[in-house]
Amino acid sequence: MRRKIERLTIKGFKSIREMSNFPLGDVNIVVGANGAGKSNFVQMFCMVRAMQKRYLQNFIAEHGGTAAFLHNGIKATKAIEAEFNFGKTVYGFKLTPTADEAFAVTELKQGDTIDDAIAGWMVYHFHDTSDSAPMRQSEIVEDCAYLREDAANIAPFLKALREDGPEGVKSYREIVDAVRLVMPFFDDFTLTPIKFGPAQKVKLTWKQKGTDYPFQPYHLSDGAIRFICLATALLQPKPPSTIIIDEPELGLHPQAISILADLIKAAASRTQVIVATQSPLLVDQFSVGDIIVAKRKDGATAFERLNENDYSAWLEDFTLGELWTRNVIEGGPTHE
């Protein structure tokens, strides 16, 4: 069953002093200046995923310890609180720092457990496209149940889609078609398993139109492989209940950003999508009501969902991205 977050409350988390009962829709495009708090908003979802996967304390330690997560430190903020309202049910929690640099977790609502509430969320982060990035490496063919956060199993996941009956094949063909729009020379993936001892592994091999030469993952540019991962995440046949992506536009050609926007809109008809971006071109592709502005106010991050009526006159002469660039939409640097 599809479960959309309808309203969200966050208190005492990093730069977010208080975000109360904030409405979320099917499409949520979060914009703001560097340091405004977009990444902190995304990291809240990462932290809750860590709670659900039972490695919260390791996550906290890896990201600076408890003081780094409390708004203005442990002296100013005694606990982090959050509440996710799904309409008929609500899940909430409180994180209180302990003497041993950990957080004690108290669940505040009885409507849902954390497993019920967010089992279907996924925070995708495809920034690492280096030569050693997991998405460029071989992975066992059995690792195909879902697309991992960093697309480490992109090859076995695509192979499974191609072999998974009409629904999977349809999604696979849509992914290939989307990739061809960005890479016109691209023909198809090959994804041939290779035996590694007792295991069979597969990597993101592909072929180009007009040749039978077997191209390897290292032949793909950073932008090309990142777009493949984004297209797969957004076109998968059974998407997560909420998809969160931080700065998906990195390394993409302007035409690819426009196509990415179409994929986000298509995905939002089947699931909830939250995207943090710095791209005016990506913002241009959405309506005013889809945009959430993160800005600094009184030493903390404030969030505002835009209202169409406030910008209708401006949009007769400017695009939405231009209004953001010109700081008519307050998404630029703020001097406090």
- Cβ neighbour number for residue 312 with a 10 Å cutoff: 10
pLDDT tens string 266-324: 999 999 999 999 999 999 999 999 999 999 988 899 999 998 888 989 998 999 999 98
In this prediction the pTM is 0.93
pLDDT tens string 68-104: 999 999 999 999 999 999 888 889 999 999 998 899 9
pLDDT attached to residue 329: 85
Characterize 271-294 residue by residue with b for buried, 16 or more Cβ atoms within 10 angstroms of its Cβ, and e for exposed.
Answer: bbbbbbbbbbbbbbbbebebbbbb
252-271: average pLDDT = 96
pLDDT attached to residue 334: 54
Instruction: Decide if 230 contacts 277 (C-beta within 8 A).
Output: no
Nearest CA to 253 among 282, 296, 292? 282
- Tokens 């696979």, residue? 172
19-23: average pLDDT = 96
Say whether pLDDT at 332 is over 70.
Answer: no
100-109: average pLDDT = 88
Q: Enumerate long-range contacts of 166-174, CB under 8 Å, 24 or more apart.
A: 167/237, 168/237, 170/237, 171/235, 171/236, 171/237, 174/235
Tell me what the pLDDT averaged over the chain comes to: 92
User: What are the residues whose beta carbons fall under 8 Å from the beta carbon of 233, sequence distance 6 or more?
Assistant: 122, 124, 147, 151, 239, 243, 245
Say whether pLDDT at 336 is over 70.
Answer: no
Say whether pLDDT at 223 is over 90.
Answer: yes
pLDDT tens string 44-64: 999 999 998 899 999 999 999
pLDDT tens string 135-149: 999 999 999 999 999
Say whether pLDDT at 112 is over 90.
Answer: no
CA distances to 83, 111, 117, 119, 190 from 92, rounded to whole Å, are 4, 9, 9, 15, 45
